Amino acid sequence: MLDQLGKKGKGKAEKREKFVELAQSRTVNAIKAIRVIAKLGNKSAYEYSEADVKKIAAALTREIDALKARMLQTGAKDSVDFTL
């Protein structure tokens, strides 16, 4: 009987370990992606306006807000919409 329960559901400790593993990996990847976007700030290689910067920052802020809402169970956002 215990074997069946062990195979069906994951324990709290196992779920926590998986969360920590994925959260750390995905957060590091997100930070790296943001840093890659920041490299577009090289004025000698790219031309952009202050409005472009504000749009990018606003899109990232919206996604952070959606992440907080989803993780705190107050809402969710699944679509990806961004254009300059």
Name the least confident of 19-23, 61-65, 67-71, 78-82.
78-82
* Segments making up each domain of the chain, as ranges: 11-44, 48-84
CB 40 within 8 A of CB 48: yes
Asked whether residue 10 carries a pLDDT value surpassing 90, the answer given is no
Cα-based distances in Å from 79 to 29, 63, 74: 20, 10, 17
pLDDT value of position 26: 98
Per-residue pLDDT tens digits for 39-61: 999 999 999 999 999 999 999 99
CB 76 within 8 A of CB 70: yes
Asked whether the whole model's pTM tops 0.75, one would answer no
Name the least confident of 2-6, 36-40, 44-48, 78-82.
2-6
- Report CA Rg, the chain: 19
Per the prediction, the chain carries an average pLDDT of 88
